[in-house]
């Protein structure tokens, strides 16, 4: 068998992700807040980029993209310059090729090229230290503070600190038993139980319980110490209460249905998760990427660019590039200039793509804008991709983590893509529209005789919606609606 080396030519087509395309894809899937942070980081790392001032002529995203697409070198926007400014550099003595950039002069003259207004801020305008420093007390700190104030011995406080550290965010001791705690600490089980009972007297009431029943009993014995029927209800008839079997509870407690109703109302006022008031989860505020306004009989799509810095190319580095014929300084400026133009063009493409996709979605969901959620149409990524002439993967990136403000509220763009639900006759309906109908049917039912899933199926079929019972159950659970056996009310 002969082994040899040879050279050959082969014609091949393949897709290559250029740096420009990689940047465009990465920026496309960023949310608005992530895009603002990305632009801020680029402003800090790329000296060629400047944030555009309000009162100055700007190099917009459209202008930058047009210049790059036409292959022209980037030109700084023309604006009036003060005397001895960079705009008069060509009239000065020409710079020799070997001369390096005068960084000291650049630092001295940097204020002329800064895009923002020159404003001095005194210390009086800054917020006070008390207004900027905050610490939210969590459940563990709150309980340890009470433990230190208690009259327990130091050894018992160590046991209490161990138990407090094993409570979950709702205040329950679920992942650790008393036996396991005693074995780990090397102390008698009764001593651990005594410390746990002491913790269960702390604020919030019900903390330190090992299950829901014990949590409710602690609250009942603390707030209603003389209500024996309430204690008996929670000790023996909690499963019947969950099944809403009020007749069995009335027979077991030997009382009337009105008294059972009063007891149930008392239980409903208790907190099943006493530790949730100390949760550290911060509220996440959504800022829409796009606004949709109604103007007459039409809907207008407007991008939200509030807080997004508008970028331009530094005029100073334009002069540096024109004055340097070779050297590391010129290579550095050219590289940063190329990156800046790619960024500006990618942001322009991102904004344009989001606007086109949102306008297409709103055209498909015009009935939703006019009449509400029940008129949502079935929609998939392919429909929008064919409408705007893009790939489905691009539509998926555009609609991820993007929000739109409509006259009907703020929704994620993914919300408008729904599966198709069949109908008896006419057009099919969207799954979100069917969920809204199920919610309306449940809200209108008789609380003393709630509708079963099969009865909901029949109600939907009467309004031209064909759906299986198991699908109704799935949508009901997604909406947080309990089964009919647990929705029954005692009136």
Q: Are 203 and 328 found together in one domain?
A: no
pLDDT of 313 reads 82
Q: Are 378 and 432 found together in one domain?
A: no
What's the rounded Cα separation, in Å, for the pair 464 and 40?
Answer: 52
Specify the number of domains making up the chain. Answer: 3
Residue 200 predicted with pLDDT over 90: yes
pTM of the shown model? 0.64
Enclosing domain of residue 424: 420-487
User: pLDDT, tens digit, for every residue of 208-253?
Assistant: 999 999 999 999 999 999 999 999 999 999 888 888 888 899 999 9
Task: With CA atoms as reference, report the closest residue to 383 among 362, 401, 403.
Answer: 362
pLDDT of 323 reads 65
82 in a structural domain = no
Of 4-13, 336-345, 375-384, where does the model show the most confidence? 375-384
Q: Are 245 and 292 found together in one domain?
A: no
What's the rounded Cα separation, in Å, for the pair 147 and 199?
Answer: 8
Which of 41-50, 300-309, 322-331, 339-348 shows the lowest per-residue confidence on average (mean pLDDT)? 322-331
Q: Are 316 and 400 found together in one domain?
A: yes
pLDDT of 98 reads 41
Tokens of 80: 């009036």
Q: Are 318 and 393 found together in one domain?
A: yes
pLDDT of 128 reads 57
User: Please, which residues have CB within 8 angstroms of residue 136's CB and are 6 or more apart in sequence?
Assistant: 280
Q: Which residue has the tokens 């917009």?
A: 60
Q: What percent of the chain has pLDDT over 70?
A: 79
Q: Are 409 and 425 found together in one domain?
A: no
pLDDT of 463 reads 85
312 in a structural domain = yes
pLDDT of 107 reads 38
47 in a structural domain = yes
Q: How confident is the model at residue 31 (pLDDT cuts 50, 70, 90)?
A: confident
Q: Are 238 and 323 found together in one domain?
A: no
pLDDT of 72 reads 44
Tell which wins on pLDDT, 320 or 467: 467
HSE-CB at 169 with a 13 A cutoff on CA atoms is 6
Q: Are 413 and 424 found together in one domain?
A: no
CB count within 10 Å of CB 447 equals 10
17 in a structural domain = no
Q: Is the peptide bond before 204 cis (omega within 30 degrees of 0)?
A: yes
Q: Are 242 and 320 found together in one domain?
A: no
pLDDT of 95 reads 43
What's the rounded Cα separation, in Å, for the pair 112 and 110?
Answer: 5
472 in a structural domain = yes
Q: What is the CATH number of the domain that holds 456?
A: 1.10.10.60
Q: Are 409 and 431 found together in one domain?
A: no
Which residue, 384, 418, 452, sits at the end of a domain?
418
Tokens of 363: 């055209």
User: pLDDT, tens digit, for every residue of 374-402?
Assistant: 888 889 999 999 999 998 988 998 998 89
Which residue, 366, 398, 418, sits at the end of a domain?
418
The alpha-carbon radius of gyration of the chain (Å, integer) is: 34
Residue 105 predicted with pLDDT over 90: no
pLDDT of 276 reads 87
How buried is residue 452: exposed, middle or buried, by Cβ count under 10 Å (0-12/13-18/19+)? middle
| Distance in Å from the first CA to the final CA of the chain | 94
pLDDT of 424 reads 64
Q: Are 251 and 321 found together in one domain?
A: no
User: pLDDT, tens digit, for every residue of 66-83?
Assistant: 443 444 444 444 444 433
79 in a structural domain = no
Which of 201-205, 263-267, 314-318, 467-471 shows the lowest per-residue confidence on average (mean pLDDT)? 314-318
Q: Are 248 and 297 found together in one domain?
A: no
Looking at every residue in the chain, the average pLDDT score rounds to 80
């Amino acid at each position: 068998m002969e082994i040899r080396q040879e050279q050959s030519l082969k014609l091949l087509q393949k897709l290559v992700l250029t740096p420009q395309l990689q940047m465009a894809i990465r920026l496309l899937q960023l949310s608005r807040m992530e895009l603002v942070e990305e632009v801020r980081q680029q402003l800090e790392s790329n000296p060629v980029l400047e944030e555009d001032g309000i009162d100055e002529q700007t190099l917009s995203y459209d202008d930058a993209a047009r210049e790059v697409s036409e292959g022209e070198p980037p030109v700084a926007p023309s604006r009036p310059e003060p005397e001895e400014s960079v705009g008069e550099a060509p009239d000065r003595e020409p710079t020799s090729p070997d001369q390096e950039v005068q960084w000291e002069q650049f630092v001295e003259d940097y204020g002329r090229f800064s895009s923002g207004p020159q404003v001095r801020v005194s210390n009086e305008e800054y917020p006070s230290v008390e207004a900027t420093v905050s610490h939210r007390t969590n459940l563990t700190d709150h309980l340890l503070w009470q433990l230190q104030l208690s009259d327990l011995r130091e050894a018992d406080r160590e046991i209490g600190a161990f138990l407090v550290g094993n409570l979950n965010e709702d205040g329950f001791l679920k992942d650790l038993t008393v036996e396991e705690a005693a074995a780990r600490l090397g102390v008698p089980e009764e001593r651990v139980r005594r410390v746990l009972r002491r913790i269960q007297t702390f604020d919030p009431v019900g903390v330190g319980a090992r299950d829901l029943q014990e949590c409710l009993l602690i609250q009942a014995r603390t707030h209603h110490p003389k209500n024996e029927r309430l204690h008996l209800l929670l000790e023996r008839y909690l499963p019947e209460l969950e099944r809403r079997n009020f007749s069995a509870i009335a027979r077991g407690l030997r009382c009337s249905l009105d008294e059972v109703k009063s007891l149930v109302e008392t239980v409903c006022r208790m907190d099943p998760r006493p530790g949730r008031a100390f949760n550290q989860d911060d509220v996440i505020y959504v800022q829409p990427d796009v606004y949709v306004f109604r103007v007459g009989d039409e809907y207008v799509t407007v991008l939200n660019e509030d807080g997004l810095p508008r970028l331009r190319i530094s005029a100073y580095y334009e002069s540096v590039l024109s004055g340097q014929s070779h050297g590391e300084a010129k290579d550095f400026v050219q590289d940063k200039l190329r990156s800046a133009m790619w960024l500006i063009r990618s942001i322009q493409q991102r904004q344009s793509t989001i606007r086109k996709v949102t306008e297409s979605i709103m055209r498909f969901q015009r009935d939703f804008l006019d009449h509400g959620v029940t008129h949502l149409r079935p929609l998939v990524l392919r429909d929008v991709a064919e409408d705007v002439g893009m790939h489905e993967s691009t539509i998926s990136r555009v609609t991820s983590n993007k929000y739109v403000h409509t006259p009907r509220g703020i929704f994620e763009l993914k919300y408008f893509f729904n599966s198709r639900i069949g109908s008896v006759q006419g057009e099919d309906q969207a799954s979100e529209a069917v969920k809204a109908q199920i919610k309306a049917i449940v809200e209108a039912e008789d609380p003393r005789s709630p509708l079963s899933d099969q009865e909901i199926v029949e109600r939907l079929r009467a309004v031209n919606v064909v759906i299986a019972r198991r699908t109704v159950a799935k949508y009901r659970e997604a909406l947080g609606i309990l089964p009919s056996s647990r929705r029954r009310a005692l009136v």
